Amino acid sequence: MAVQCTFSIIKPDATIGNNTGAINAIFEKAGLRIVAQKRIQMSQAQAETFYAVHSERPFFGELVEFMISAPVVVQVLEGENAVLAHREVMGATNPAEAADGTVRKEFAKSIGENSVHGSDSEENAALEIAQFFSGNEIVG
């Protein structure tokens, strides 16, 4: 499998908990390289656009409110098979189902406040990266 990029967000529960560095250490140990990263306060419009695919879901409002409740860290991670490697190390969406050693097992509070987001495909990774980074901000 070739080297890929994926998009990652360290969510408000994790930034408030001061766990950004600990989560990055888990990513790096899994072979992922942080090739772009910035801490931002997401706007409501940014969050609604980013999660537009979930706009009809009952938890959409709650999800948007949570994502703008505190700073997040948006990232581009690079590595062999990065989309899958990142999803494996994040753990299951619901932390109650997350495997030992995963970010969500260690840090997440609930299915809503689940510490990290990761792209689910290479195509979506490219779309998500483009929402937050310009090409010259990504340095491999």
x-marked contacts with ligand CMP along 87-106 as a string, rule CB under 6 A: ------x-------------
Q: Name the DSSP class of 52.
A: G
Structural tokens at position 121: 């495909």
Instruction: Judge whether 80 and 3 are in contact, CB under 8 Å.
Output: yes
Residue 117: active-site member: yes
Structural tokens at position 56: 């009809």
Residue among 62 and 97 whose Cβ is closer to ligand CMP: 62
129 binds ligand CMP (CB under 6 A): no
Closest distance between ligand CMP and the C-beta of residue 131, in Å?
Answer: 13
17 binds ligand CMP (CB under 6 A): no
Question: What span, in angstroms and rounded, lies between the C-alpha atoms of 16 and 18?
Answer: 5
Instruction: Judge whether 107 and 40 are in contact, CB under 8 Å.
Output: no
Binds ligand CMP by CB under 6 A, chosen from 112, 122, 124, 138: 112
Binds ligand CMP by CB under 6 A, chosen from 35, 70, 111, 138: 111
Strand, coil or helix: 9: strand
How many CB atoms lie under 10 A from the CB of residue 12?
Answer: 21
Q: Which of 11, 86, 104, 117 is catalytic?
A: 117
The binding site for ligand CMP (CB under 6 A) comprises 54, 59, 62-63, 93, 111-112, 114, 117
Catalytic (active-site) positions: 117
